[in-house]
Structure 1
Amino acid sequence: MKKTLTIITILATLFIGTLAYAQSDNSMFVRSSPEAPGAFEETTLSLVSYSFNLDTSEISWTLDGKLALSGAGKKSFTFTTKGVGSASTVNIKIITSGGEEIDRRVTIRPANVDLLWQATDSYVPPFYKGKVMPASETKFKVVAFSDIRTSSGTRPPNSSLNFTWKRNYEPVSGTNGLGRNSLSFKNSYMDEEEPVSVMVSTLDGGGAGQRQITLKMFNPEIIFYERHPLDGLRWHTALNNGFSLSSDETTIVAEPYFFTENDLENEKFKISWQMNNQSLQVDKKWELTVRPGASGGQATLKVVMNNLVKLFQSAESAVRIRF
């Protein structure tokens, strides 16, 4: 999940201070690919101008004080960034065909930004040790962890960092500002994926980093377990691959995974039990006690769960029972 990202600061110096030239200068800028290069990552800087011809201009690129590339029409320059917090400085000198001079200086200082997320209202049983997966209309909390340096090299606390969040590539109103390193929201039933990104920057503008993740929705699941009269619920063994009755009766529990927890006891959360496609009436919502038939054989037990409060939260599962 971790990725090292960088900041780009662009400073311009004009050698001919005429108004016409200033307008020309402002229409020339530098692009970086990737936009946020990581530490020790190959990075290409490219010049773009809408006011003069770069192809006929003499362009030189200096990396950390050493001339790295020069010539007519050298509009791009590729180099490898340094480690986290270590700045690479690229000076660009342009002499147009008309003799005008333009300087650009680009400073790239890598920074770490991580995003960790949690599905805050998805249900899993108490014994579950894995990642809690989100279903449609799940509530999320995303937290940003950053390692950023100011222009002086110090590492500011979160309270001194500005956080700008985007969800589905759009700014999220009311969530941005100093120290706001977390984002909470509810997934829309229309979105199977949720791209979430954050830009973290220092107050002095000397450091910034960004990170994007894509949150994917999962289908809820049903797992069958046995409730043993002495051991209680046998969480360590799922029955979904089928099982044989080893006693006069066996109680089977249908455990929901990744449904919205607060909806499980809602009257609009429906659960139905079927044996060989015949509906069953159960005394307890989540479990059924089965007994072997006189002649033996096998049967298929099926459970269907539907959360009518959430449009796309449903699941079904079946288990084969051998008598």
Structure 2
Amino acid sequence: MADSLKGLSFVFFLSLFLYPALLHAQFGLPGAENTISITVTPQYPAPSSSVHLKAESNLLDLSRALITWSSNGKTIASGDGTTETDVTVGALGQQTSITITAAIDSTRASGAAVVIPTQIDLLYESNSYTPPFYRGRALPSAGTMLRLQAIPRFTKGDGSLVPAASIIYIWKRNGELIQAASGLGRSAALLPGPTLFATDTIVVEAHTSDNTYSGSASLRIPSVEPVIALYLDSALFGILYHQALSVRTFVPNTEMTFVAVPYFAQAYSPDDQNLQYEWHVNSQKISADATRPSAITLSAGSSDGTAIVELSLTHAANYLMSSNSTWNISLKSGFDQASGSNGSATNNPFEQGF
């Protein structure tokens, strides 16, 4: 009996001795090898740009840990509590593999992230009016529409591009999702332009179905007021778009036809039936031509003359559209055009190309 008790005492003592040892071995937190999350800022880095890396963990106090950062297998930072660092990513489509390891005594944890720089070009124009061969962009005014086109450059490792039609696009205006414009292959969007005096921020986010490639682009698009420019309408050459009339203009003829061009107006042409022209010459209202309301003919007869021409332009269906301009035009018989002032190209929207 005594021998049996001695044996039991030995077994019990051995169990007490081994149990703490087993607890110590388990304190390494099985599965902790992937418990560090890495935040990359900016979220969508540009090619060859610097990104900021930040490590976080819910299971390990990283401020007390010895941390080592690596990029594509090369150590970029190391030290106690080094939870943040910077790295320069590669060219367009070039993968940068980020790893982090952290250790406190015998407890270890790690994390990983992959950064692939992408690029998205976001283009826009309005359906507002601009004349033929206008070199600039049609800008949105109140009541017009915006045409937007996202051009993603998601470059694969072999240099090929991910087809635009296989990319998922998410469109947002001023932070709000535009569900009707978003979806697979929806790289283009047609949206109402910003309201009068407003500025809209348009954002497009794009990613592949497996989220391997992703990117974003944004634009701030302000609403503009229509700009009225006045041009000579030559019987031989047509509208002289290269030379807009300035506020004070001399014309080497005693009779001339002038044409108003409403840049960025909600119209399909200067003589759109919805545009309402109200002309005044020397404070006298002049009835607009029913078939060509954008044009007006001035005649000084056989003598020289000066006319103060005023134009008010509104829209029959868009009460927010309104524009006014005034010109002081001198018609002079036999005037030397080379020495006169016939408008400055500096004030010519056609030449400026907004």
TM-score strictly above 0.5: yes
- Mean Cα displacement is larger for which, 294-303 or 105-114? 294-303
CA 1:155–1:322: 2 relative to 1, 3 Å = closer
Cα deviation, 1:100-137, whole Å, max 9, x if unaligned, reads 43311011111121111121x21112242322222123
The one of 268, 276, 296 aligned to 1:270: 276
The one of 41, 46, 53 aligned to 2:54: 46
CA 1:294–1:49: 2 relative to 1, 3 Å = farther
Equivalent position of 2:8 in the other structure: none
The amino acid that maps onto 1:75 is T
Identity %: 24
Distance 2:270 2:256 in 1: 24
Equivalent position of 1:129 in the other structure: 135
The amino acid that maps onto 1:216 is P
The amino acid that maps onto 1:250 is M
User: Is the radius of gyration larger for structure 1 or structure 2?
Assistant: 2
Cα deviation, 1:250-270, whole Å, max 9, x if unaligned, reads 111111111111596676633
Distance 2:284 2:107 in 1: 86
Equivalent position of 2:248 in the other structure: 242
Equivalent position of 1:202 in the other structure: 208
The one of 3, 16, 19 aligned to 2:29: 16
- Mean Cα displacement is larger for which, 181-190 or 274-283? 274-283
The amino acid that maps onto 1:107 is V
Structure with greater proportional helix content: 2
Equivalent position of 2:173 in the other structure: 167
**Alignment of 1:109 onto 2:109:** no
Once superposed, what is the RMSD of the aligned Cα atoms?
Answer: 2.9
Equivalent position of 2:234 in the other structure: 228
The one of 64, 85, 100 aligned to 1:77: 85
Distance 2:258 2:152 in 1: 47
- Mean Cα displacement is larger for which, 288-297 or 156-165? 288-297
Residue 39 of structure 1, CA deviation: 1.2
CA 1:191–1:223: 2 relative to 1, 3 Å = closer
Cα deviation, 1:120-167, whole Å, max 9, x if unaligned, reads x21112242322222123211111112214578753322222222222
CA 1:267–1:166: 2 relative to 1, 3 Å = same
Cα deviation, 1:148-195, whole Å, max 9, x if unaligned, reads 145787533222222222222221112222211111111242672222
Residue 51 of structure 1, CA deviation: 6.6
Residue 49 of structure 1, CA deviation: 5.0
Q: Classify the secondary structure of the residue corresponding to 2:186.
A: coil
Q: Classify the secondary structure of the residue corresponding to 2:165.
A: helix
Equivalent position of 2:5 in the other structure: none
Q: Classify the secondary structure of the residue corresponding to 1:174.
A: helix
Are the counterparts in 2 of residues 273 and 280 from structure 1 also a CA contact under 8 Å? yes
Residue 233 of structure 1, CA deviation: 2.5
Equivalent position of 1:8 in the other structure: none
- TM-score norm. by structure 1 comes to 0.82
The one of 44, 49, 57 aligned to 2:65: 57
Q: Classify the secondary structure of the residue corresponding to 1:237.
A: strand
Structure with greater proportional strand content: 1
CA 1:191–1:45: 2 relative to 1, 3 Å = farther
The amino acid that maps onto 1:118 is E
Cα deviation, 1:65-89, whole Å, max 9, x if unaligned, reads 1222122221111111111111111
Q: Gapped runs of 5+ residues in structure 2?
A: 1-27, 332-354
CA 1:64–1:252: 2 relative to 1, 3 Å = same
Are the counterparts in 2 of residues 189 and 311 from structure 1 also a CA contact under 8 Å? no
Are the counterparts in 1 of residues 267 and 275 from structure 2 also a CA contact under 8 Å? no
The amino acid that maps onto 2:144 is T
Are the counterparts in 1 of residues 94 and 157 from structure 2 also a CA contact under 8 Å? no
Q: Classify the secondary structure of the residue corresponding to 1:145.
A: strand
Equivalent position of 1:11 in the other structure: none
Distance 2:216 2:48 in 1: 17
Equivalent position of 2:324 in the other structure: 316
The one of 164, 172, 181 aligned to 2:187: 181
Distance 1:142 1:151 in 2: 29
The amino acid that maps onto 1:183 is A
> What is the count of residue pairs matched by the alignment?
302
The amino acid that maps onto 1:220 is P
The amino acid that maps onto 2:294 is W
Residue 245 of structure 1, CA deviation: 3.8
Q: Classify the secondary structure of the residue corresponding to 1:236.
A: strand
The amino acid that maps onto 1:91 is T
Q: Gapped runs of 5+ residues in structure 1?
A: 1-14
Residue 58 of structure 1, CA deviation: 2.7
Distance 2:214 2:187 in 1: 14
